[in-house]
A and B are shown apart, each in its own frame.
Chain A
Amino acid sequence: MEKLLELDRLTKVFTLGSVISRVRITATDSVSFYIKPAEIFALAGESGCGKTTVARMILGFEEPTSGAIFYNGKKGTKNEKVWFTEGIQAIFQDPFGTFNPLRTVDRYFFETVQNYKLAGSKEEAIRLIDEKLRAVGLSYEEFSGKYPNEFSGGQLQRISIARALLTNPTLLIADEPVSMVDASLRMSIVNLFKKLKEELGVSVLYITHDLATAYYVSDRIAIMFRGNIVEMGPVEKVLMEPKHPYTKLLRESIPEADPNKRWDTVITLADTEYEEYLRAGCKFAGRCPDVMDRCKDEVPPDIYVDGVLVKCHKYAGE
């Protein structure tokens, strides 16, 4: 099987606090997964569970504590980010933060073209930029010479995707690309990922806490909780028949657009994420409705159930 990107036991430890009260947080704990060409892979979980850390390590903005990243079979090393900017591009959470508010947006496009020598002349550059903008439903005329605040959040997010597409990347890292975009405009972004996958064969690492859009757009999904992948597999299986209690909780927490299906159960929320990070056994034990004794001090094993990876004691045989 061909793997476009593979993470092998990627671990990142952050040390927080002063010398006296030092806390070590394993923001990602031996995270392994792969992404195939022309595939949308979702990484889901609530905030503070290490999703952004994974993305930043792939993009080279953060150095992993241990583990390795392979792009097209080649290992990325500290000094040689072979894959880095041409093959992998990224779009970010806050569309208004993606571009410098004091500069016109088109400057980033021309800089990308120039830095990667994508065009020989200004006309060629404009043609290329226009082509990418049209792929996201905009055009060069309605964009040139404007500042970020002259666009809506949805437009900016599409502009951001267009910029990422300039280098013809094979993989887009999208870190919560719709969480700050209006619900009514979300689908235009998400549909764009589908289109890019189908028409251009681009893979997407779709990072989100919204399982509904993850279900809609992705092929496979990994559910992350406090640095660990707790469930991973085809999206139909993971989300339609969730196995890990955390996946179930996430799944139920999506408000359904149907007034007859209101939440009737009460949930407990984490007091602080650090307490959960520092738990010895299963990190979810504090909130799990099915908690057992051994969950509290034994780290659950990775188990394959029905083609889905689950990290939970419930599924461990005796």
Chain B
Amino acid sequence: MKVLRDLFRDYRFALSFCVLCLLLVLAVLTIFSPYDPTLWGVVPRDLKPSREYLLGTNSKGQDVFWQATFAVRNSLVISVIAGTVSRVIAVLVGMVAGYKGRLTDRVLMFVSDSLLVIPLFLIIVMLAMLIRDKMNLVTLGLLLAFFGWAWDARVIRSQILSLREREFTQTAILSGTGTLRLVLNEYMPFATPLVFSTLINNMSWAIGMEMTLAVLGLVNLDIPTLGTMLQWAISYQAMLLGYWWWIATPVVLAVFLFVALYWLSVSISEYLDPRTRIQRVGV
């Protein structure tokens, strides 16, 4: 894979890639978990990290390490759902609005502008309260996806608008290329860097949003995620009682996740930037 080899030259990419891999390994480890993460009292409570309980145990009688593996997995699932679904919406809306123009454009941009101006956070909180009972990984992912596309759709639309004026659009039309193929072949390569970098940004936003909702107690607290782990730790006064391992685990994992995703997005978007790309294919 030439692409990967090129990307690994960037230390930021290499580092963040390794961190993400580690986190993925954690997520995969859930398969081997000796405990059901939803059950309480499966191990002695409040133990310090030790050889037997790598990251100690919590006041609910759960092994923090195995809880963390589930938390990482579930948080990643939510963010991937939110990220990809919102990217698909953003690309579709942006491209259709940009290329079709006129009424289609105005309607779609009205919707996206509305999403941009309303206080997103409050709406999400309210909706989360409404569907709290039905809240699971998928519904939460979709809920976040629905609110995460508006800005990027706008950016893609304006990109298409300027590409439409470029002469190669006319060359493609004169070559007999139809609208759909034109948009996919000619414009998509310009939008991909944006889609990739915002995909990753959107994923970290979703993780952050989930944590916020969890700390506010607005999600299903039985499903272990980075957010619910933190929520439980806070509600049991883990900090006050000196059970630092319980609270530190989700926080440290979240920080690693955020930094890794950020670096990944920066290095990938730099790699995909049309300008550096042109240099690379050059002479």
A and B touch in the complex (CB under 8 A): yes
Q: Are B167 and A102 in contact (CB under 8 A)?
A: no
A264-309: which have CB < 8 Å to B? none
For B190, what are the chain A residues with a Cβ–Cβ distance below 8 Å?
102
For B281, what are the chain A residues with a Cβ–Cβ distance below 8 Å?
147, 149-150
Which of the candidate stretches A39-47, A89-97, A196-204, A242-250 sits at the interface with the other chain?
Answer: A89-97
With known contacts A102-B190, A103-B189, A150-B283, A115–B176 Cβ distance under 8 A: yes
Q: How far apart are the CA atoms of A90 and B170 in the complex, in Å?
A: 9
Chain B residues bordering chain A, tally (CB within 8 A): 22
A26 within 8 A of B: no
Q: Are A99 and B168 in contact (CB under 8 A)?
A: yes
Q: Are A98 and B168 in contact (CB under 8 A)?
A: yes
Q: Are B274 and A112 in contact (CB under 8 A)?
A: no
Q: Are B172 and A111 in contact (CB under 8 A)?
A: yes
With known contacts A92-B171, A149-B281, A100–B189 Cβ distance under 8 A: yes
Q: Are B282 and A89 in contact (CB under 8 A)?
A: no
Q: How far apart are the CA atoms of A119 and B68 in the complex, in Å?
A: 61
Q: How far apart are the CA atoms of A284 and B223 in the complex, in Å?
A: 78
Which of B167, B171, B174, B282 has a CB less than 8 Å from the CB of A150? B282
Residue of B nearest to A112 (CB): B175
Residue of B nearest to A114 (CB): B176
Q: How far apart are the CA atoms of A170 and B23 in the complex, in Å?
A: 63
A160 within 8 A of B: yes
Which of B166, B175, B185 has a CB less than 8 Å from the CB of A97? B166
- Closest Cβ–Cβ distance, residue B101 to chain A (whole Å): 14
User: How many A-B residue contacts, CB cutoff 8 Å?
Assistant: 66
Which of B171, B177, B274 has a CB less than 8 Å from the CB of A99? B171
Q: Mark B213-254, 1 if CB is under 8 A from A, else 0.
A: 000000000000000000000000000000000000000000
For B177, what are the chain A residues with a Cβ–Cβ distance below 8 Å?
111, 115
Q: Are A149 and B282 in contact (CB under 8 A)?
A: yes
Q: How far apart are the CA atoms of A61 and B172 in the complex, in Å?
A: 13
Which of A59, A116, A149 has a CB less than 8 Å from the CB of B170? A59
Q: How far apart are the CA atoms of A112 and B174 in the complex, in Å?
A: 8
Q: Are A93 and B175 in contact (CB under 8 A)?
A: no
- Closest Cβ–Cβ distance, residue A149 to chain B (whole Å): 5
- Closest Cβ–Cβ distance, residue A290 to chain B (whole Å): 39
A67 within 8 A of B: no
Which of A59, A92, A108, A149 has a CB less than 8 Å from the CB of B175? A108
Q: Are B186 and A89 in contact (CB under 8 A)?
A: no
Of residues B172, B277, B278, which shows the largest number of chain A Cβ atoms within 10 Å of its Cβ? B172
B→A interface (CB under 8 Å) = 166-168, 170-177, 181, 185-186, 189-190, 274, 277-278, 281-283
Apart from A102-B190, A103-B189, A149-B282, list 7 A-B contacts with CB within 8 A: A59-B174, A92-B170, A93-B167, A102-B278, A115-B177, A150-B281, A150-B282
* Complex A-B, nearest 6 residue pairs according to Cβ-Cβ distance, in ascending order: A115-B176, A102-B189, A97-B167, A112-B175, A92-B167, A100-B168
A→B interface (CB under 8 Å) = 59, 61, 85, 89-90, 92-94, 97-103, 107-108, 111-112, 115-116, 147, 149-150, 160, 163-164
17 examples of A-B residue contacts, CB within 8 angstroms = A59-B170, A59-B174, A61-B173, A92-B171, A93-B167, A94-B167, A97-B167, A99-B168, A100-B186, A101-B274, A102-B274, A112-B175, A116-B176, A147-B278, A147-B281, A149-B281, A150-B283
